[in-house]
Amino acid sequence: MENTTKKLAVFEELERIAAIIPYPLYWHDTNFVLLGANDVIIKAVGGSRNTVIGKTPYDFYDPEAAEAIIKNFKEVIATKKVLYHDESIKDITTGETKYFTGIRGPIFDENRNVVGVIGTSIEVTDLKKAEKEKEQQRIEFQLKEAHLKLENELQQAKIAEQAIFKKDVGQLIHDISTPIGTIQMILGTIKSLIPEANRITLIDAVGSIKGIAGNLLSKYKKDKDEDQSHQPTLISLLLSQVLEERKLQSANASIEFSYNFNACHFSCINVNQFALKRSITNLLNNAVDAIDKKGTIHLGLGKKNGLIEITIKDSGRGMPQVVMDKLKSNIAVTNGKEDGHGIGFTQVHETVKNNHGIIDIDSIPNQGTTITIAFPESAPPNWLVRELHFNQQDTIVVLDDDSSIHGAWDAILQKYKNVISIKHFMLGSEAIDFINSFSDKSKAFLLADFELLKQNLNGVDVIKQTNVRSILVTSHYTDEDVLKLVKDNNLKVLPKQLAAEVIIVISGL
């Protein structure tokens, strides 16, 4: 009964969210029966909601097309991943073949079992007939036009509760320029049901819309982005998250992305994380828009005169001096954008000002633009680990339920294997038994992941039950519940994303 209730809760949440999604959205159970869809889908299929829900692809398409769709559903269920599919469907009324890009992902129950498939389909028939370059430009223009139109409509809402919600949705649409953002938003509302293999990547992407997803789940309460105080932020990890999201959105474009964090991997600045992430996203979006066909975008991080400098350099069309002067003065302008309103750069100015930063712009027409924003460097949080200190003859116990992490630690510690030994465990109970069997526990050092899936304990529990020198190595270092446990137990944390950058110190060497 409990499982059924939770499954229904997931599907009920989808019903509520689907109403405000401007793209086709539908979800099936594992028998390929349609459980729900938004009005866009109902209108496209024809008929009423009562006559559409409960059908399978065989009721809507010819047998060949239906088989292809079900094959894609099976692949999503088997791989448990979000997948893209190119589809062609013959219109039985006109005989015309139509082309679609289908995006589908799994829906999980609390046991990480797939209980359904969620998807969206975008028709690209006309675009298939055009050259690839024109196709990409047309998709970009149509999406931006729709996003700006919806944002403006939502901002005009007069009901206070809805206005808060719609403002967040409008900003989300401004920040995310491809249909995958829609899928990420839906997955963000059920992120606790996603297995770690997918969650680590998705959490980075969903981080920028965490406040909005929280609104949806808490009856449209005030967005965390608006009332969150400044806090020490690992700027290299924030930049990495934004860059990976932007690269994903530009996967089909001829743009080469690069970065260099110049030994600033552990540098911190005291900022509102959501606002800064949105600003970097806007600047990267502007850089992409400035490149006509192909080019380069470089994201840099460095230190200068007590400031942490973030630079975004593109090889795009650049801008004249008059445009640079207006932007530096926070006058909303656009340069080479159709129907633009300078919303992104205005938000950047506000974020820099509110976080005690400075901004500079250097641009040469037809050569490119470099934008630099800088903030005072702040002290790192007390829990952050920059160095791992081992003794000779220590046994390093690595606990993680992901086998790939064990291989990564072997590579990191390889050159020290003549003075330390390494033991690997995927089960917390086995790690506890091994460590507690030591006659001299001072020779054990535990590197423990926090989240141990399908186990009745977490990394903090293991640390408390073994009482040895320990570091919590986790990707969930920003999670409020995890940080509370860390502070309550006076623990140290190494963000898993920075494991390759940590300094290893062996006593006596």
DSSP label at 130?
Answer: S
Tokens matching residue 370 = 């470099």
Calculate the CA 392 to chain-centre distance.
Answer: 40
Give percent of the chain with pLDDT exceeding 70.
Answer: 76
Question: In the chain, how long is the greatest CA-to-CA distance?
Answer: 80
Distance, CA of 4 to CA of 168 (rounded, Å): 32
The yes-or-no verdict on residue 395 having pLDDT over 60 is yes
How do beta strands 368-378 and 358-364 pair?
antiparallel
| CA 207 vs CA 21, 210, 375: distances in Å | 19, 5, 21
Q: Report pLDDT for 198.
A: 54
Q: Report pLDDT for 130.
A: 64
Domains of the chain, start order: 2-217 (3.30.450.20), 228-378 (3.30.565.10), 387-506 (3.40.50.2300)
Q: What is the mean pLDDT of residues 438-456?
A: 93
Q: Which of 19-33, 49-63, 137-151, 442-456 shows the lowest per-residue confidence on average (mean pLDDT)?
A: 137-151
- Higher confidence at residue 437 or residue 499? 437
Q: Report pLDDT for 18.
A: 78
> How sure is the predictor about 162, in pLDDT bands with cuts at 50, 70 and 90?
low
Calculate the CA 284 to chain-centre distance.
Answer: 15
Sequence-ordered list of residues with C-beta below 8 angstroms from that of 471, at least 6 positions apart, any chain: 385, 388, 445, 446, 447, 448, 492, 493, 494
Q: Report pLDDT for 224.
A: 42
Q: What is the mean pLDDT of residues 288-317?
A: 92
Question: pTM of the prediction?
Answer: 0.55
Long-range CB contact pairs, 438-442, < 8 A, 24+: 438/395, 438/468, 441/466, 441/467, 441/468, 442/468, 442/469
| Secondary structure of 255-321 as H, E, C letters | EEEEEECCCCCCCEEEECHHHHHHHHHHHHHHHHHCCCCEEEEEEEEEEECCEEEEEEEECCCCCCH
Q: Report pLDDT for 191.
A: 46
Q: Order the strands of the 83-90 sheet from edge to edge.
A: 34-37, 26-29, 114-123, 97-108, 83-90
For 69-123, the pLDDT digits (tens) are: 899 899 989 999 988 887 776 665 566 777 778 888 898 877 888 889 998 877 7
Sequence-ordered list of residues with C-beta below 8 angstroms from that of 109, at least 6 positions apart, any chain: 3, 6, 7, 10, 115, 193
Distance, CA of 7 to CA of 278 (rounded, Å): 33
Tokens matching residue 62 = 């010819």
Q: What is the mean pLDDT of residues 440-464?
A: 93
Q: Report pLDDT for 155.
A: 60
